[in-house]
Amino acid sequence: MPVYQAPVADTLFILNDVLGFERYNNLPGFSDATPDIVEAILGEAGRVASEVFHPLNQVGDREGCTRHADGSVTTPAGFAAAYATFREGGWGGLSADPEYGGQGLPHTLSAAVNEFISSSNMSFAMYPGLTAGAIAAISLHGDETQKRTYLPNMIDGIWTGTMNLTEPHCGTDLGLLRSKAAPQADGSYKISGQKIFISAGEHDLSENIIHLVLARVEGSPEGVKGISLFIVPKFVLDESGKPGTRNGVSCGSIEEKMGIHGNATCVMNYDEATGYLIGEKDKGLRAMFTMMNEARLGVGIQGLAISEIAYQNAVVYAKDRIQGRSLSGAKAPDKKADPIIVHPDIRRILLTIRSINEAGRALVLWTALKGDLSHVADDEKERQAADDWMGLMTPIIKGVLTDKGFDNAVMAQQVYGGHGYVAEWGMEQFVRDARIAQIYEGANGIQALDLVGRKLALNGGRAVQAFFAEVGAFCEEHRNDEKMAPFTKGIHKGSKDLQQATMWLMQNAMMKPDNAGAASTDYMHMFGLVALGYMWGRMAKVAQEKIAAGANGHTEFLEAKLVTARFFMERVMPETAAHLARIETGSDTMMAMSADAF
């Protein structure tokens, strides 16, 4: 069975030493997040992830979810008890509004905890993950009555939530959706239609399921401007606010899919189900979009999470499996062969994964911190800058960390040779589970288009300019620091490539939007590499300072940071040049072929 140990020390290094979490202790939420509290929370989250959720990961994959004839759904053995543990631990309310029963801690902490739980059991983590999305939607767009009615039980976890967007004929292009909402005399609506790919759509973990559903009010315009968002509870609440009558929504079937078998991916049928408009009529899509940053960050974290557990298990095997000898002479002459970690090609794989994970974790936490600051920073300018960063980095984190997360899971599986292909060892499950993160919550091609088509030009390019300025200042600051040269050189080169690509886009994509589309995926990955490289620069600097200050017993940890940072610059960053070369060839060739000729 695979192992899992939450990367608590690495998370604390990022929060305390790289991000200087304590600096913000005058801000709401942060004041309660003292270093001791943070360490205790992460330690306990890691423990629960390893001991409670992780042992169910393979079980969940094997058993999957079962839909019964009456439309009810049973989750895999042990999931209900584990969910009770999750709920009792208050994990769902960690950073929720204290007004409605939450603990009000920074979202940055939730992001860290979310990584641990997703690593240990991604399918399980999705149940509370979807609830968090629904909580965000109601918090942002619900009226006060709706908040008081739904949030406390959802934050407690006794009720869960879902997001219902996709229909058989429409995913990315929600303007095509057909689900209908018929206004009723009492102000409610009757919702009818079919939704597909609904994660956690039906299950046995909670007393009620609060579905958030996109539908078109009768008479509203076609396209995206006629879509509204509705609350549709599985059980309509009675007068005391308790689950009462069963609503006209049911699970029609569970999809058979490649992975995340422990999560019920449902076809949901709405048949005149009672729903309540949330936010403005016909403005449902905007309501969806405002909460997407959070959901997409969450999916990016899944990419990181699977990559982390895959890495840990690849390392275990690489140290344990003996096979062949080191090219530079036997390293374990007492054994019949050397452990395969002696081989450079195995180390190449392990360090590639590790260098992306550790920088990815820094980027996620950095961005989650910006998300917090965008709400609670004292200064309007700081809030805006934080919001800019958050908006810019969200598609990058979603797209890049899930693409890399999948690639990394595949590479980690490769370390196992034939054993990696066999279910028993668990490596192939990581690959199958990781795959969905590239697809849902906006396929990665859509993230790339969001970046080049929207985020780049937003507010006159303010966010991207601020990013380049920050990275440039960092390189400039350490320009004459010889020990920092291996890192600043790589960052500078990557950043130059990225700026050149950005310039190329400005000059070539305005008049010819296909050039933007043709560049989008390469550009997103390129941006991701520079952002990850910048994280490595910051981490390397801190590691050097701490080593110079005596390392305080963490020498091996800090030295490993420096090796991994160098590896990233040498082996991962060079890809920016290939991305740039591709981008600059434009769209002419790919558009030259007629659709029929494909």
Catalytic residues: 441
Supply the minimum distance, in Å, between the C-beta of residue 309 and its own copies. 15
Cβ proximity to its own copies: between 139 and 166 the closer is: 166
Are 123 and 154 in contact, with CB atoms under 8 Å apart?
Answer: no
Cβ proximity to its own copies: between 233 and 259 the closer is: 259
Give the count of beta carbons closer than 10 Å to the beta carbon of residue 62: 13
Where does residue 222 rank: exposed (0-12), middle (13-18), buried (19+ CB within 10 A)?
exposed
Supply the minimum distance, in Å, between the C-beta of residue 592 and its own copies. 5
Cβ proximity to its own copies: between 320 and 470 the closer is: 320
Supply the minimum distance, in Å, between the C-beta of residue 181 and its own copies. 20
Supply the minimum distance, in Å, between the C-beta of residue 351 and its own copies. 6
Supply the minimum distance, in Å, between the C-beta of residue 566 and its own copies. 5
Could you identify the residue written with the tokens 């960063």? Answer: 389
Beta-strand pair 235-237/243-246: antiparallel
Query: In this structure, what token pair is assigned to residue 161?
Result: 């939530």
CA dihedral for 110, 115, 116, 119, sign (positive or negative): positive
Beta-strand pair 265-278/249-254: antiparallel
Q: Which of 128, 220, 157 is nearest to 183 (CA)?
A: 220
Cβ proximity to its own copies: between 166 and 367 the closer is: 166
Cβ proximity to its own copies: between 242 and 571 the closer is: 571
Are 351 and 411 in contact, with CB atoms under 8 Å apart?
Answer: no
Supply the minimum distance, in Å, between the C-beta of residue 378 and its own copies. 41
Supply the minimum distance, in Å, between the C-beta of residue 6 and its own copies. 17
Supply the minimum distance, in Å, between the C-beta of residue 517 and its own copies. 3
Cβ proximity to its own copies: between 440 and 467 the closer is: 440
Cβ proximity to its own copies: between 121 and 564 the closer is: 564
Where does residue 235 rank: exposed (0-12), middle (13-18), buried (19+ CB within 10 A)?
middle
Q: Could you give the CA distance from residue 430 to residue 405 in angstroms, rounded to a whole number?
A: 10
Supply the minimum distance, in Å, between the C-beta of residue 508 and its own copies. 13
- The residues with which 123 forms a beta bridge, in sequence order, are none
Cβ proximity to its own copies: between 387 and 522 the closer is: 522
Distance (Å) of CA 153 to CA 90, 94, 103, 131, 137:
12, 14, 14, 11, 15
Q: Could you give the CA distance from residue 84 to residue 142 in angstroms, rounded to a whole number?
A: 27
Cβ proximity to its own copies: between 97 and 575 the closer is: 575
Rg (CA), the chain: 24
Query: In this structure, what token pair is assigned to residue 470?
Result: 């920050």
Q: Could you give the CA distance from residue 346 to residue 409 in angstroms, rounded to a whole number?
A: 14
3-state SS class at 564? helix
Supply the minimum distance, in Å, between the C-beta of residue 409 and its own copies. 11
- 320 contacts: CB under 8 Å, gap ≥ 6: 339
Amino acid residing at 318? A
Q: Could you give the CA distance from residue 32 to residue 36 in angstroms, rounded to a whole number?
A: 10
Query: In this structure, what token pair is assigned to residue 273?
Result: 């189900």
Q: Could you give the CA distance from residue 542 to residue 519 in angstroms, rounded to a whole number?
A: 35
DSSP label of 165: -
Cβ proximity to its own copies: between 91 and 568 the closer is: 568
The string over 12-50, giving b where at least 16 C-beta atoms fall within 10 Å of a residue's C-beta and e elsewhere, is: bbbbebbbebeebeebebbeebeeeebbebbeebbebbb
Q: Could you give the CA distance from residue 470 to residue 465 in angstroms, rounded to a whole number?
A: 9
- 383 contacts: CB under 8 Å, gap ≥ 6: 373, 374, 375, 377
